[in-house]
Amino acid sequence: MTYRFECRCGKKLEAKEEDLGEEIRCPGCGERILLPFKPDGKPGTVGREPLARIALVLGLLPLLIVVYAAIETAVWGTQSPLGSVFKVVGAVLWLGQVATVVLASIALKRMQRASESGNFLYGEREATIALVLGIAWLAFFVMFLVFYFLRLLLPGM
């Protein structure tokens, strides 16, 4: 029986059932891979947690918007033609970061459950980075909102 799995680099690999439990090298990246077994001695599964990458991409999106906003502000100053658009984009990014934190948490939980059942899912690093980015962006947005509303309440500030 042929056993299919995926390396961290994304290369799809195959192994025969009698090779399970042994260590091989990925022909794509050269990384050592231990072909898994479940606790009952049956073959386990190896793969990538898809939510980890999705969460990481969502966590990186605000960086592009912040860089663009900084460039536009430097060019146009306070009279930016897209000033009102950024308010809408900010709201969407805030919701995106909530989704980032939720997806990264789900991905980490799925990886934990997989390892408890003798399986292995890659993507812990991506999910962790996404979780940290999501929390950091949410903290930044909250701080921005606090200063924004303080400025509205206290006009002389």
Query: Model pTM greater than 0.95?
Result: no
| More confident site: 79 or 153 | 153
> How high is the pLDDT of residue 130?
92
Report pLDDT digits (tens) over 65-77.
777 777 777 777 6
- How do the domains of the chain map onto residue ranges? 1-48, 49-157
Exposed, middle or buried, 99 (CB in 10 Å: 0-12/13-18/19+)? Answer: middle
Strand partners, 23: 34
CA separation for the pair 61, 39 (Å, rounded): 40
User: What confidence score (pLDDT) does residue 131 get?
Assistant: 93
